[in-house]
Structure 1
Amino acid sequence: MNSTLWIVRVVLAVVFLASGTAMLTLSRARMIARLGAWIEAVPIGAVRLLGALEVLAAIGLVVPPLVGIAPMLAAAAASGVFLVMVGAIVLHAREREYLQVVMNLALAAMAVFATWGQLAS
């Protein structure tokens, strides 16, 4: 179970680090091309804030359990990822981006597993 939990944490961290970094560094036009049309429906300040939160979540998923300091922060980060995915599911469903809805459901399920795994250990 520990190996599976680490794999899920790392996959989530990589996805959220990449997405968050893109939201923090790319222009709106490049974000739309890379992340999708939903960027047009959200104010740029909110997109940048979401990017910062995603980068922090990526760090929180891996660093605390890796160094053994406050490992329960990983459960908090995974819970935050779940909440972000719920919002993403709603946003993508509204935009009729159903492939993204499926991907967000998968990421939300992984976040639930990561939260449960951290709390159970």
Structure 2
Amino acid sequence: MSIAYWIIAGLLALFYVYSGLMKVARSRDQLRPMMAWVDRIPLPVVRALGVVEVLGAIGLLLPPLTGIASWLAPAAAMGFVLLQIGAVAVHLTGEDRQITLNVGLIATAAVTFWLATGL
């Protein structure tokens, strides 16, 4: 098991668990200061994105830990790449055009995918 995978996947999973739980648990008013796009997306979709983020984080860590369905780790990493590509599109079509974090998450998820294929 690659130490680099565990460090990068662990940090990525930590980010997505935090972000996902915020989207699931907080109101639109509480999310707005951090995520200006929430006013343009229906709240059930925001909640669903939060659930997807938490499940993806679990998919990065649990399969390699257990050795069961280890193909899920690269699938989760690729899912995060696709999720962030969609996020870039949402940001660019709205008023807030801040995509630096999204580009960084795409790069991190891509590296995680590459490392996961070697598990």
| TM-score normalized by the length of structure 2 | 0.92
Partners of 1:6 and 1:95 in 2: how far apart?
A: 35
The partner residue of 2:108 within 100, 110, 115 is 110
Identity of aligned residues (%): 37
Alignment of 1:12-51 (within 5 A): 12-33=12-33, 35-51=34-50
Report whether the alignment pairs 1:120 with 2:106: no
Give 2:83's aligned residue.
84
> Is the partner of 1:76 in helix, strand or coil?
helix
Q: How many aligned residue pairs are there? A: 119
Q: Which amino acid aligns with 1:23?
A: K
- Residues 34-71 of structure 1, C-alpha deviation per residue, up to 9 Å, x if partnerless? x3210001011110110110010011111111122111
> Is the partner of 1:52 in helix, strand or coil?
helix
- Which structure has more helix as a fraction of its residues? 1
Q: Which runs of 4+ in 1 moved over 6 A?
A: none
Q: Which amino acid aligns with 2:103?
A: L
Partners of 1:85 and 1:73 in 2: how far apart?
A: 18
Partners of 1:109 and 1:42 in 2: how far apart?
A: 25
Q: 1:98, CA displacement in angstroms?
A: 4.0
Partners of 1:109 and 1:71 in 2: how far apart?
A: 21
> Is the partner of 2:69 in helix, strand or coil?
coil
| RMSD, aligned CA | 1.5
Q: Which amino acid aligns with 1:56?
A: L
Stretch deviating more after TM superposition (18-27 or 66-75): 66-75
Q: Which amino acid aligns with 1:38?
A: W
> Any gaps of 5 or more consecutive residues in structure 1?
none
Report whether the alignment pairs 1:6 with 2:6: yes
